[in-house]
A and B are shown apart, each in its own frame.
Chain A
Amino acid sequence: MNQLRVALAVARKDLRSEWRTRELVPALAQFIILALLIGNFGFQIDSRNASTIAPGILWLALVFAGLVAFGRTFAAEREQASLEAMLMTPASPVAIFAGKALAAAALLVVCEMVLLPALSLFFGMPLSGDVVAAVLLATVGMAALGCLFAAVVARVRARELLLPLLTLPLWIPFIIAGGLAVQSAMGLPGSYQQAIGLLIDFDILFVVLTSLAARFVLDE
């Protein structure tokens, strides 16, 4: 219970500092619109093939926006050296990590609130509850993994270079299952039930694993 309170406090702190500076969310929203623009020029898009291309653009834009967002997760803490201060408090490192991951996930959800309407606007992608559920479920696991590796590379020299290299391969399970879920929700072949079940399995697996590993990454 106490751990949960600490996690929520850390998440609230991160979100409040984002609210006061309003740096990341506008930048990410612009990034996503730019990604859609590039997708438009990269593919020959017309009304027939838009629905088959849109899921691919969704995951590409989301993954790269996520990388930018998670790269910033520990940036402020590093610049102010405030992570050390937080770790010196009696709060457990796992709770601090959970709070950071929660805040990062919330930022990613805000990005998705831009991305999904934009996709349906520009690419005519039908927005259904199934699609939103699949994207949100993938966000949970991606946030846990992305935050863990953001913490890993926070102490490394070439962190901007390393974060995508480490995070992207580990996100692939979510992209496989999430991609399948979105495609099947949009009427392409595939089992939606199976994909959603798989997403939930991956979420549980990686949330448990990252919370076990968080202690070794943060506790220095």
Chain B
Amino acid sequence: MAVLLMLLAAGAIFVYAPTDALQGPVQRIFYLHVSSAIAAYGCFAVVLVGGIIYLRNDSAVACFAVVLVGGIIYLRNDSAVADRFARAGALVGVVFTTVTLVMGMLWAKPIWNTFWTWDARLTSTLVLWIVYAGYLLVRRMAEPGRQAARLAAVVGIFGFIDVPVVHFSVTWWRTQHPGPIIVNDALPVQMLGTFLFTLACTLVLAGVMIAIRYRIETLIDEKQSIAEPVPVAAGHRAEAGPEAVLPAIAQRPDRRRCRDLPCHRLRICGCRPRWLSLVVASPSAGA
């Protein structure tokens, strides 16, 4: 569905939207460039919220539900879930930032006559990309489980704070990048329509990518918990509870936590309805 939407968006970009009078067809990069930038910010917001929830749960402060990015995410009091969302968000966010940077460079070459300029927005986007690429490296190199999650949560939160700071500190530099033209009615209706449609499609794509990545991270976690039962069980407290209560459910961990997955909401996994899993494995049992 997301692929179809992106194809539709591509059609709208190339067929429906008018060609820019000054810049010619190159201007069509705009739609995907800005959309993927916004999607990347959304993904990093997921990392931030996931990290904060992870740390707060760890310090035993109750945190029950957070609704973010158009209601994609509904996090229970399960820090492993928040952490997996943070991982998925970081990866997808880095992908979208890469798209933004590459698209921007391709657009800049014919218009500014250079691929790169040390402009405020370009610099801060590059820093953003570096910070979250580093975040993914920490995830990869730290011991899996609780430690990696805590350390990476700290990195994710600092990264999110650092980027506006960098942006703010370079704003008085002479800037080449155009300001936000969407909010002040500078766009013709057809262009605005195409942009909003592309934005919506890109956000859906980002959401689906996060959901898929989340599923992969869940499987990785489960593989790890089979290989090394002790450290992971200590790290993910919420997983330790229901096993003691209901051994039969514990043998099918994918079913037990399916209610937390976005795929459940999108009805692509075909597992039990939500109310049933609430009855058999209450989240408070793990705390």
Summarize B's interface: helix, strand, loop or mixed: helix
Q: Does A106 contact B (CB under 8 A)?
A: no
A148-202 at interface with B (beta carbon < 8 Å): 148-149, 152-153, 155-158, 161-162, 165-166, 168-170, 172-173, 176-177, 194, 198, 202
Q: Which of A13-21, A44-52, A78-86, A209-217 contacts B (4 or more CB under 8 A)?
A: A209-217
- The 25 listed contacts between A and B (C-beta, < 8 Å) are A145-B158, A152-B154, A152-B155, A156-B138, A156-B143, A156-B151, A157-B141, A157-B142, A161-B141, A162-B134, A162-B138, A162-B141, A165-B133, A169-B127, A169-B131, A169-B159, A170-B162, A172-B166, A173-B162, A198-B169, A205-B165, A216-B55, A217-B151, A217-B154, A220-B150
Cβ-neighbour of B158 out of A153, A157, A209 (below 8 A): A209
Q: Are A176 and B138 in contact (CB under 8 A)?
A: no
Q: Which residues of B contact A156 (CB under 8 A)?
A: 138, 141-143, 151
Cβ-neighbour of A216 out of B134, B154, B170 (below 8 A): B154
**Alpha-carbon gap, A162 to B58, bound state (A):** 25
Counting from the closest, the 6 A-B pairs by CB-CB distance are: A165-B134, A169-B130, A156-B142, A169-B131, A166-B134, A176-B169
B93-140 at interface with A (beta carbon < 8 Å): 127, 130-131, 133-134, 137-138
Most chain A beta-carbon contacts within 10 A, residue among B58, B150, B169: B169
Q: Are A155 and B141 in contact (CB under 8 A)?
A: no
Q: Are B165 and A173 in contact (CB under 8 A)?
A: yes
Closest to A159 in B: B141
Q: Are B155 and A166 in contact (CB under 8 A)?
A: yes
Q: Which residues of A contact B142 (CB under 8 A)?
A: 155-157
Q: Which residues of A contact B162 (CB under 8 A)?
A: 169-170, 172-173
